[in-house]
Chains A and B, each alone.
Chain A
Amino acid sequence: MSISGLVLTLDGDPPLAESAIRVLRHDARITLGERTGERLAIVVETGSRFEDEEVYAALKSTPGVRFVDVAFVEFGSGEEGAGDADG
């Protein structure tokens, strides 16, 4: 289980920003929060940190999303410890 609080900076072009929001609404792992100007608060809840990262990567390439910044991340008690670089 992984939970993170993210801040998305949406595109200045309103239709593009709206289309990004529509995409986000369809993803059950994402809860939309308040929007302040171009900035939108969201929470991502996934089954693992791996999946969390996939969502993060998908958000970064969603049309209408300019930046993804992180405000909070919970990674629990280490059941998914970091790995070993494999060269």
Chain B
Amino acid sequence: MLTVDRRTFVKSAAMAAATAAAAGTTRSFALPVLPGSGLRWEKAPCRFCGTGCHVMVATENGRVVAIQGDQKADVNKGLLCVKGYHVGAILYGEDRLTRPMLRRDGRLVPISWEEAIGIVADKIAENPKGFALYGSGQWTIGEGFIGNKFMKAGLGSNHIDGNPRLCMSSAVTGFLSTFGVDEPPGCYDDLDRCDVAIMWGNNMAEMHPVLFSRLVDRRTRGEKVTIIDLTTRRTRTSEFADEVLFFKPHGDLAIANGIAHLLVRNGTFDRAFVEKHCNFRQLGPASEDGSPPAMLGEPMTFDEYAKAVEPYTPERVEELSGVPAAKVRMLGEMFGRRDLRINSLWCMGMNQHTRGTAINCLVHGIHLLSGHIGTPGNAATSLTGQPSACGTVREVGTLCHLLPGGRVVTNAEHRREAEELWNVPEGRIGATPGYHTVEMFKRFNTPTAEGGDITTMWVQVTNPGQTLPNLYRNFRRKKDLADKFLIVSDVYPTATTELADLVLPSAMWVEKNGMYGNSERRTQQWFKMVEPPGEARGDAWQMIAVSRRLFDMGHEGMKGRDGKWIFHTTDKAGREVPIWEWEHYYDVNVDERMFEEYRPFTRLKHKDLAPYQEYVKARGLRWPVVQQSDGSWRETRWRFSGFDDPYVGKGRDYQFYHSVTKDDKALIWFRPHEFPPEMPDAEYPFWLCTGRVLEHWHTGTMTRRIPQLHRAMPKAYVEMHADDAARLGVRNGEVVAVKSRRGEIDLPVWIGGRGDPKPGEVFVPFFDEGRLINLVTLDEYDPYSRQPDYKKCAVAIVRKA
């Protein structure tokens, strides 16, 4: 119970925080500390989405006791969404995993860490090439760096991938194809400056609520911001939109091509910008072995491009997409105006798409063609769902084809540089990409004798048992395969630990040191504030301990050029610190050591990071962060723009300095509209789209343990249009079977609920581990990003008897 004094004190603190946040950044605000209490406030980024809000965390007696939006943070200016509100409570679920557990006779039984680490090391040593590591956009930068080094520089294996493959790898291939380098040129400041915000299949009000309120709040200050919601179903975002334009699934490519068609036909494209800064591209022919054409395509002239977009008249676009021709013209006219600043925003709608790379390229293309890029408010911005999908997976390169700092394993020079920086012998890093997510799990779920060459998998900080598409095929088969061994490091029991052979209890969030990188290239840092429960230990330590065990077993890969262990760490006096022993892990700041080892990797692609200690002082810094003549470190808000980016040549307005064509020009792509691989038919007449809800973060393993969030959104459902429900004779709340060619689940129907699909379409959220919609989804993926399409497949809705 709070004492009266304390209550009065906390109330006034709460009011002061709210008043300061309501007033914006104009007021100074001191964090409350009750005299005599042990309360301590420290900064950290929120543990949930890729927005990267900062929170202030209060701890007392070894527990997190209060959370406050961080007034000093540019991203959220003191505000949080409902998930951020509860971020402290995620540490205290009743069923936290607190001991390593091994499956014996079908049951998980507690074992010691000593034994657990030994089992993992033995499994790897048995068959190093059959071992795969599957990580996450929730890995901290340090954890990702350790995992990548352990696999690529230690085991000489590229079988490491991460769940961002399932959420944003199409954004990566879109940026690479267009600019030759990953991640958005702009930043969140564009939200404060744009005149028009276009949501491309993006329910920003629920998925990135703090950013959405930052945008919509401008209206309350009297500013005019036009919001256009291009969507397949009505969502909370639609409520704030000036125009809600419904399109047929996969129709987005037609819309983008329609805008390009109008810009060319009306002569309203930005000729000067295009001539100076752009080249045109299209895909070449498919190769004879049936593999897709090369991702970087073939040059085309402007005239060829104009001819390619010619068929995408507003009327044809209406046929393909369902968006009325008049509205297509409206979009074309908007892009044709130089006086409007346009910010396109997208997330899973464009990325979880069998044409994900293509639609990403097309949206960049219309911004380039119309010159709506590189000045404040003019941007094409992809948003990420996880707190460090960018900082860890994209930048540190924990995907099967990447090396840190934007390097790729297929490039001999990149491998040589990485071997040099990691101080491992030449030739250690493999030249062939490892298995991407779907392929990795397919092989793990295929009998070894039938080509399933992945035999041991270690999954950290993610829940593929719920998130993989077509779960029967890609995850559940493992249950019957005795020679496959699944290791899972996590904080709570999940659909993945359910099939695990070994479960390792992990520390989470402020129970460890960490760094994240958010959607606007902002790298953030925090310190450990409380102890993890029971015997839980950080994922970084777990990998380090296994690596050391392999080193002690004589594994050659765990040795560097000098014969020392690849994670050899010394104190200030030069004495080795045994960081593989938990009791000594925090004798040094391993996170800082790893970050300083990682920093030199970041310069090749001009993603420069500042020294670790600069992030200790800041609320994140956006790369490239470059040292000034006075010794200070300056972040970059608009990359490639002469007025802000230090890497743009003197006197130049723009310079796309990593251009694919090596002439400082970006690429405008033509990619045609095509129909998706599976479409509704007589047997499966509905489109199924899956996604998230405001209250739950992804698979709900954390948020479903917070009673308030669980109560607010307890179970999954199937949203359906009222006309379809009437036709099928289905009532609101009635349980129906949602069936596809791959599987089926039972769900209650929600008519006129939070979202409202169009007739012929249904929507199901994926947060509910009791109702796994991914038993139904399709595992077809984009040929370049290898990202599956969770937004479209054909299902039947069947009334239960």
Q: Give A residues with C-beta under 8 Å from B.
A: 1, 3-7, 9-10, 12, 31, 33-43, 45, 49-50, 52-53, 56-57, 66-78, 81-87
B220 touches A72 (CB 8 A): no
Chain B residues within an 8 Å CB radius of A75: 65-67, 88-89
Chain A residues within an 8 Å CB radius of B23: 34, 36, 39
A76 to B39, CA, bound (A): 11
Query: Is the CB of B11 closer than 8 A to any CB of chain A?
Result: yes
Chain A residues within an 8 Å CB radius of B705: 82-85
Query: Is the CB of B440 closer than 8 A to any CB of chain A?
Result: no
A50 touches B85 (CB 8 A): no
Chain A residues within an 8 Å CB radius of B16: 5
Shortest A58–chain B CB gap in Å is: 12
Q: Which of B10, B58, B95 gathers most chain A CB within 10 Å?
A: B10
B90 touches A72 (CB 8 A): no
A69 touches B81 (CB 8 A): yes
Interface contacts beyond A85-B704, A87-B770: sample of 14 additional A-B pairs, CB < 8 Å, sorted by A: A3-B2, A4-B14, A4-B85, A9-B213, A66-B220, A69-B80, A72-B66, A73-B67, A74-B10, A74-B66, A82-B707, A83-B705, A85-B93, A86-B770
B81 touches A36 (CB 8 A): no
Residue ID in chain B nearest A83 by CB atoms: B707
- Identify which of A39, A82, A86 contacts B22 (C-beta below 8 A): A39
B11-54 contacts to A, CB under 8 A, are 11, 13-24
Query: Is the CB of B723 closer than 8 A to any CB of chain A?
Result: no
Query: Is the CB of B546 closer than 8 A to any CB of chain A?
Result: no
A62 to B710, CA, bound (A): 21
B94 touches A84 (CB 8 A): yes
Shortest B616–chain A CB gap in Å is: 24
Residue ID in chain A nearest B709 by CB atoms: A53
Chain A residues within an 8 Å CB radius of B710: 83, 85-86
Shortest B555–chain A CB gap in Å is: 39
B15 touches A43 (CB 8 A): yes
B45-103 contacts to A, CB under 8 A, are 58, 60-61, 63, 65-69, 78-82, 84-86, 88-90, 92-95
A72 touches B14 (CB 8 A): yes
A85 to B701, CA, bound (A): 8
Shortest A29–chain B CB gap in Å is: 12
Query: Is the CB of B356 closer than 8 A to any CB of chain A?
Result: no
Query: Is the CB of B1 closer than 8 A to any CB of chain A?
Result: yes
A71 touches B68 (CB 8 A): yes
Query: Is the CB of B662 closer than 8 A to any CB of chain A?
Result: no
- Identify which of A3, A7, A70, A82 contacts B7 (C-beta below 8 A): A3
A41 touches B21 (CB 8 A): yes
A75 to B79, CA, bound (A): 17
A85 to B246, CA, bound (A): 35
Residue ID in chain B nearest A66 by CB atoms: B216
Q: Secondary structure of the A side of the interface?
A: strand
A9 to B396, CA, bound (A): 39
Shortest A64–chain B CB gap in Å is: 13
B15 touches A5 (CB 8 A): yes
A81 to B707, CA, bound (A): 9
Residue ID in chain A nearest B80 by CB atoms: A70
A77 to B11, CA, bound (A): 16
A68 to B603, CA, bound (A): 41
> Given A74-B14, A76-B2, A57 and B19 touching (CB < 8 A)?
no
- Identify which of B63, B84, B92, B768 contacts A70 (C-beta below 8 A): B84
Shortest B499–chain A CB gap in Å is: 15
Chain A residues within an 8 Å CB radius of B19: 33-34, 41
A76 to B60, CA, bound (A): 9
Query: Is the CB of B550 closer than 8 A to any CB of chain A?
Result: no
B18 touches A83 (CB 8 A): no
Query: Is the CB of B627 closer than 8 A to any CB of chain A?
Result: no
Shortest A55–chain B CB gap in Å is: 11
> Given A37-B220, A50-B708, A82 and B94 touching (CB < 8 A)?
yes
B65 touches A84 (CB 8 A): no
A85 touches B769 (CB 8 A): yes
A86 to B770, CA, bound (A): 8
B60 touches A77 (CB 8 A): yes
B66 touches A70 (CB 8 A): no
Query: Is the CB of B597 closer than 8 A to any CB of chain A?
Result: no
> Given A3-B7, A82-B92, A71 and B79 touching (CB < 8 A)?
yes
A10 to B706, CA, bound (A): 28
A30 to B554, CA, bound (A): 65
Query: Is the CB of B217 closer than 8 A to any CB of chain A?
Result: yes
Shortest B703–chain A CB gap in Å is: 9
Query: Is the CB of B798 closer than 8 A to any CB of chain A?
Result: no
A72 touches B708 (CB 8 A): no
A63 to B752, CA, bound (A): 19
Shortest B465–chain A CB gap in Å is: 13
A82 touches B65 (CB 8 A): no
A2 to B17, CA, bound (A): 16
A57 to B84, CA, bound (A): 15
A3 touches B14 (CB 8 A): yes
Query: Is the CB of B712 closer than 8 A to any CB of chain A?
Result: yes
B379-437 contacts to A, CB under 8 A, are none
A1 touches B68 (CB 8 A): no
A75 to B87, CA, bound (A): 11
Chain B residues within an 8 Å CB radius of A43: 11, 14-15, 18
Pairs A–B under 8 Å by Cβ, sample size 10: A3-B14, A6-B18, A9-B217, A41-B15, A43-B11, A66-B216, A69-B80, A69-B81, A71-B22, A73-B67
A4 to B93, CA, bound (A): 21
